[in-house]
Structure 1
Amino acid sequence: MALFRGVWRVLSSLGKSGAELCAGCGSRLRLPFSFVYIPKWFSSTLASYPKKPLTSYLRFSQEQLPIFKAHNPDVKNTELIRKIAELWRELPDAEKKVYEDAYKADWQAYKEEINRIQEQLTPSQIISLEKEIMQKRLKKKSLIKKRELTMLGKPKRPRSAYNIFVSESFQEAKDGSSQAKLKTVNENWKNLSSSQKQVYFQLAKDDKIRYDNEIKSWEEQMVEVGRSDLLRRKTKQQTEKCTEKC
């Protein structure tokens, strides 16, 4: 009983009902006890699940990015994304509709394929498959979002003084394992004088200013293209308050 309550508390933290959403179909998962047996063949079934289709804007952005890069090889992705966002806003409704219709068609095909796969499974197989889907989803969720944000040109977070020092010094460390190099770099950092460290603190401060400017511009672009879900929590709350007042 104690084990059951412990599992339930963990699952409850995932949502109001203690359940997660299925990565494939978006429906709410059944209670995924950790002791459910998962046959090996479920991995191949999970691998056959189709990927969700790209939204109309992401489809347009993915199509345009290589073209913009080819014509502007020295321009940063953040600037290219800004130009693509501007182009999307200026796109006539008739041309946008082509991308929106393609998304709707792909979404319908996606749902049909999900239903086809699930119809071939027994109820117990579906429960076990949902368990594996949840496990893989939790592991890959961060990576998937990171890839999406990279494609959308989200600015890199500011580095600390120590991280800047490590990045600068790591390659200069003597040959050895990564762990040994990191240990050497860490010792070198500890041995730096206050005036030497101050150089890196200033670099970190400059990088923070860079990040604040770039993230503000990037979030404005995301609002314009309908991706307010990617805003930082504080920015999202401010945007919602502004919208309510307006």
Structure 2
Amino acid sequence: MKRSAVTAIPLQDKIKEHRQCIAFHEAGHAAAIYLNNKANNLPPVFFQIIFKDIKSEKDYDVTVYQVSQGDCIAKVEGGRLIESLPPSVEGLVHKLTEHNASMVQLVEDFMTAFETDIINLLIGPLAEARYMAATDNEAFNQHLISLKALKNYGGTSDLALANEYLQSLSACKDYQVTKLDDLFKSAFKFINDNSNWKAVTKLANYILKSNKNIISCEEVALVLEQ
């Protein structure tokens, strides 16, 4: 989850804003992994949130440079239901179901997990976008936030990985675009749900108060279940 450079404001305000944006981004992704997987009756997966320190002017300058070089300031490590993407999902599905009708349910479960992974990725930058909209007293809706706009909210690597999933799903570019748009709508629906947003906000506040470099999935579950 990559952060873009922030505008010229006093250093301490920059650092504070940076931390808050990062916290909401990673809280969105982590909450989605926990809550969205659970809602879709998918198994829990291991993940942890990893942060780099931003405590001084030197740290801030380094992180801005790293972002410009494509590095990450914070990320959710793990959390994917499909850890290794097949070269062709269509080929895999055909192979599994060609001579065995009993594999149909397994394929359906695989596709649910596949799509949920993508939705969870998109929820991270959407959470940051909603936080920024609230901070700036701006509206937050699908007409104002597009898929391409997610790059402005640390979503470059999220979109890149989502596209890897879609390239595995189908070689048809038009189908990839249509499918991603549908999954984006699902991600938006998740983050626009008030109960989900309260959970994300609660987790983001925990992240900011704890000031840890690593937060485990067990900690995330405890915060969300409380």
| Common fold by TM > 0.5 | no
TM-score by length of 1: 0.25
Structure showing the higher strand proportion among its residues: 2
TM-score by length of 2: 0.27
Structure showing the higher helix proportion among its residues: 1
Q: Larger C-alpha radius of gyration, 1 or 2?
A: 1
* Structure with the larger RCO, 1 or 2 (CA within 8 Å, 6+ apart): 2
